[in-house]
Amino acid sequence: MEFVVFADHVGTIESIDADIERCERVAELLAEAEDELSVVVRFLLGRVFPAHESTKLDVGPRLCYEALARAAGHNVTASDVEERVASEGDIGQVAESYDLGGQQGLGAFGGGGPETLTVNEVRDSLETLAGATGEGSQETKRDILFDLFNRAEPEEARYLVRLVLSEMRIGVGEGAIRDAIASAFDVPVDAVESALQVSNDYGLVAEVARSDGEDGLGTIQLEIGRPVQAMLAQSGAVTDAVQDWDTVAVERKYDGARVQAHYDGDTVSLYSRNMEDVTNPLPEVVSGIDASLQAPAILDGEVVAIGEDGDPRPFQEVLRRFRRKHDVARARENVEVRFHAFDCFHADGDDLLDEPLVDRHDRLTAVVDPSDHIEVSQLWTTDDPDKIADIEAESLEAGHEGIMLKNPESGYTPGNRGQNWLKRKPDVETIDCVVTGAEWGEGRRANLLGSFELSVRDGDGYATVGKVATGITDEELDSLTERLTEYILTEDGADVDIEPAVVFEVGYEEIQESPTYSAGYALRFPRFLGVREDKSPADADSLERLERLAEA
């Protein structure tokens, strides 16, 4: 498929307001794609590589502006591009407005190729770009981008630049792609959903849906090195658990960050709750798993920060590791961590997702030989509520967050927040909100963002629920400002709109009905507790949960 055809479809898709019609247009585009189907799917989601792959383009706006300016010709400089982006907001629109092309080749990649770009060619060029490292890599990247822009029609440039800068924003999320795959290849949405939960690879699922239909989707299996969506828990009561399951499996609820560990017999890869590769930030877990496992396996568990006395530390201390990707050594000096494995989906060649929890836990115990930084959760099975109360008291006493109650006979259902895992934690509730806006401070603080607008998920969009300004240290304010500035969409005086990207954990005293915010509720006395580095906007709390909390 020519990239201009892709861009033309995307232009139409972006201009449609109604979800159903937009999804139909996406389905048409998928049906039209040939051998580039998986690439088209990823591009629509604004990705060049599958979500779980750690390969990154690592292209900053400045590099892109320089490449664009070169392709636009003599009179345009990178600073001109930057100024226009600052005043017009959308880099795609700015790129589209230039009369690109016709510039003579600059560097190894400049101006050599044929005129028309194809989708696969764009993918190949961006793969080469991502592979450029070390001395001279910035020039190589700039040359590759220049070559792409120099060959692009205006509409192509609009989406190319957005793709490169991870700013696709065409209103097509993962849910829309799932529905479009189902509709384009005439397979049930549930079958697409299940295949996605196990593989998390939208491109692959689209290809299998097209080539082998529903039956093919059912055969998509676990693969070591490809994370599975985490099974989630609901809040629940001991009495209900005992009544529903007779025997209850009880575990400590560790207060850390969810991590999935994949070991292929040679290499260890670690993934966070939102399936980002967190192997580098957790070197002692990597070496611990390497020492503890004698056979290939996939483990689910929690990474907990440990104080000098061996007791658990607050979970934000682990999340700090995820943030300080480039400074692991320093973070490691401050925070020691331990991995508590509590589930196992694959052990030594056997896929275990459909096995009962207690059997999976037996396999877990058999496959893991605990080492310095690796432990296996203790699992009690009982029908005695008093015994459960004792475990809960002991768990809290030891500094854990509470307990988990699990149905001992249940399989592992990826991505599902069902009735088979119940969580009990006595702490006051907190809520995870997406930052959708902010205000610049005044006077001495004019270059810092101050109060942050908080939103919950509402369908495919977001509904505001309050603003938070308290609980943020000066150091945190500096780093939040730096980080959120990247996501500013528009500015109006001191008010800024921010693209949903960062999730705050927020404490509050009460939730009240309120006409002030679009959720219809307001958080009273909200206070910032930390950034949920392990959550994407799609994992933030929903309007339904807010309503439930307000009623409680």
Instruction: Give the end-to-end CA distance of the chain in Å, rounded to a whole number.
Output: 53
Residue type at 534 in one-letter notation: D
Q: Taking contact as CB under 6 A, which single stretch among the options 117-125, 253-261, 277-285, 361-369 is the one that binds ligand ATP?
A: 253-261
Bridge partners for 510 per DSSP: 524
Q: Decide whether 393 or 446 has the Cβ nearer to ligand ATP.
A: 393
**Which tokens hold the place of 186?**
């005439």
**Which residue is closest to ligand ATP by CB?**
258
CB of 147 to ligand ATP, least distance (A): 44
Contact with ligand ATP (CB under 6 A) among 194, 260, 377, 464: 377
Binding span for ligand ATP by CB under 6 A among 51-59, 129-137, 251-259, 493-501 = 251-259
CA dist., res. 450 & res. 440, Å (int): 6
Q: Could you tell me the smallest distance in angstroms from the CB atom of residue 355 to ligand ATP?
A: 16
Q: Among 387, 423, 483, 545, which residue interacts with ligand ATP (rule: CB under 6 A)?
A: 423
SS3 state at 215: helix
Within 3-42, the residues that bind ligand ATP by CB under 6 A are: none
Name the residue among 490, 501, 494, 448 with its Cα closest to residue 85.
490
CB contact at 8 A, 71 and 150? yes
Among residues 123, 258, 361, 457, the one that binds ligand ATP under rule CB under 6 A: 258
Is 120:155 a contact under the CB 8 Å cutoff? no
Q: What are phi and psi of 307, to 5 degrees?
A: -80, 175
Stretch 310-369 residues interacting with ligand ATP (CB under 6 A): 342
The region of 118-126, 230-238, 261-269, 316-324 touching ligand ATP under the rule CB under 6 A is 230-238
How far is residue 165's CA from residue 370's CA, in Å, rounded to a whole number?
43
Cβ-based nearer residue to ligand ATP, 302 or 392: 302
Q: Whole-number minimum distance, CB 233 to ligand ATP, in Å? A: 5
| Sole binder of ligand ATP in the list 52, 142, 253, 360 (CB under 6 A) | 253
Sketch the per residue contact string, 489 through 528, with ligand ATP: x for CB under 6 A, - otherwise: ----------------------------------------
Token output for 235: 């809040």
CA-to-CA separations, 268 to 262, 298, 458, 520, in angstroms, rounded: 6, 10, 37, 46
CB of 488 to ligand ATP, least distance (A): 27
* Complex with ligand ATP: residue 277 or 302, whichever CB lies closer: 302
Q: Is residue 407 a contact residue for ligand ATP (CB under 6 A)?
A: no
User: Which of 29, 48, 404, 529 contacts ligand ATP by CB under 6 A?
Assistant: 404
Q: Which residues pair with 251 in a beta bridge?
A: 404
477-496 burial, b if ≥16 CB within 10 A, otherwise e?
Answer: beebbeebeebbeeeeeeeb
Beta-bridge mates of residue 310: none
Q: Is 90 exposed, middle or buried (0-12, 13-18, 19+ CB in 10 A)?
A: middle
Binder among 1, 209, 233, 523 for ligand ATP (CB under 6 A): 233
Any idea how long the chain is?
552
* 117: CB partners within 8 A, 6+ apart: 2, 3, 4, 148, 151, 152, 156
Active site annotation includes 253: yes
The stretch among 179-187, 190-198, 249-257, 291-299 that binds ligand ATP (CB under 6 A) is 249-257
User: Could you tell me how many residues of this chain bind ligand ATP (CB under 6 A)?
Assistant: 12
- CA pseudo-torsion sign 353, 358, 362, 365: positive
String marking each residue 265-304 x if it binds ligand ATP according to CB under 6 A: -------------------------------------x--
CA distance 84 to 61: 13
Beta carbon nearer to ligand ATP, 179 or 302: 302
Residue in 253, 406, 467, 535 annotated catalytic? 253
Q: Strand, coil or helix: what is 91?
A: helix
Q: Which is nearer to ligand ATP, 232 or 549 (CB)?
A: 232
Task: Note the residues at the interface with ligand ATP (CB under 6 A).
Answer: 230, 232-233, 251, 253-254, 258, 302, 342, 377, 404, 423
- Which residue numbers are catalytic? 253
